[in-house]
Amino acid sequence: MRRIAIKLSALAQDGLTFVANPYEVDRYQQVSRLATELLAALSDQSADELAIELGRDSGYATPKVDVRGAIFDDQQRVLLMQERTDGRWSLPGGWADPGDSPSSAVTREILEETGYHSSAVKLIACWDREIQQNPPPLPVHVYKLFFLCRPDGTVQPPAALETLDVGWFAMDGLPPLSLGRVNHRQLERALAHHLDPGLPTEFD
């Protein structure tokens, strides 16, 4: 049902982008409001909050892109950063910005959130956030791009606005994860690709 509401919201956004007839505009505005009310009924957000969030996007509706970078050391420990928003730990990453290539977006996020300069060496996976069951459900459709990266150059302090701490963790000693950003299975798949770079890129 939530997936239907997201598709309705996207259809309304597309319609409002391309139609000029005032009657058609009104119809698509009604569809948008109904989709927002349906999403509100299926979540813990109000319709007003969702309308603001969905209203940030314009033009033809497409999935948002989240990039995550996995760096492992020679002890097979993974580099994680502690999120300021929830106090939990994640692979460095975030929304890709317009103008960034996917690989430059992930290395920028790694630098900002951990202080490590890096280079992307492989696309591990392109996953659908909803199919991967990263909580909580969002009112937009998201693709998650996971990259295998390697440290490259000097290390500097991370950006204090986003990061509480940075650390290296063994897979059997992971801290509490920020599951909306990365889950245990995704980290296990990242390690598998680190151990065997010849594995094919994964996708939903």
The per-residue pLDDT for range 9-66, each reduced to its tens digit, is 878 787 777 878 887 878 878 887 887 887 778 777 777 775 666 666 767 778 999 9
Of 138 and 125, the structure prediction assigns the larger pLDDT to 125
Specify the residue for token string 């975030």. 94
Give the number of other CB atoms < 10 A from CB of residue 183. 15
CB-based burial of residue 65 (10 Å sphere; 0-12 exposed, 13-18 middle, 19+ buried)? middle
pLDDT recorded at residue 80: 98
pLDDT recorded at residue 117: 97
> Which residue, among 173, 180, 204, has the nearest Cα to 68 in the 3D structure?
180
Q: What are the distances in angstroms from CA 1 to CA 62, 128, 166, 199?
A: 19, 17, 38, 35
pLDDT recorded at residue 187: 98
Backbone angles phi, psi at 48, to 5 degrees: -65, -45
pLDDT recorded at residue 53: 66
pLDDT recorded at residue 178: 98
3-state DSSP helix/strand/coil % of the chain, to nearest 5: 35, 30, 35
Contact at 8 Å (CB) between 58 and 17?
Answer: yes
Give the number of other CB atoms < 10 A from CB of residue 81. 27
The interaxial angle of helices 22-41 and 47-55, nearest 10 deg, is 130
* 38: its two tokens: 């349906």
Q: Does pLDDT of 127 surpass 70? A: yes
Torsion 6-42-177-90 (CA) sign = positive
| Count, residues in the chain | 204
